[in-house]
Amino acid sequence: MIIALYPGSFDPITNGHIDIATRASKLFDKIIIGIFSTPDKRLTFSLEERVDLATRAVAHLSNIEVMPYDIITVDFARQVNAQVLVRGLRMSADYEREFEMGMLNRKLYPELELVCFMASQEYQFLSSSLMKEVASLGGNIDSLVPKHVAEALRNKGVGKE
* Residues sharing a CB contact under 8 Å with residue 140, sequence separation 6 or more, in sequence order: none
Radius of gyration of the chain (CA): 15
Q: Considering the candidates 9, 25, 50, 128, report the single residue annotated as catalytic.
A: 128
CA distance 68 to 71: 10
Catalytic residue among 17, 50, 87, 132: 17
30 is catalytic: no
Of 23, 30, 90, 106, the catalytic one is 90
- Among this protein's residues, is 154 annotated catalytic? no
Q: For residue 87, indicate whether it is catalytic.
A: no
Identify whether 132 is a catalytic site residue: no
Cα 32 from Cα 81, distance rounded (Å): 10
Bridge partners of 115?
86
Residues 54, 13 contacting (CB under 8 angstroms): yes
Residue 105 amino acid letter: N
3-class DSSP state of 80: coil
3-state secondary structure of 114: strand
- Which listed residue (26, 41, 42, 107) is catalytic? 41
Active site residues: 17, 41, 90, 128
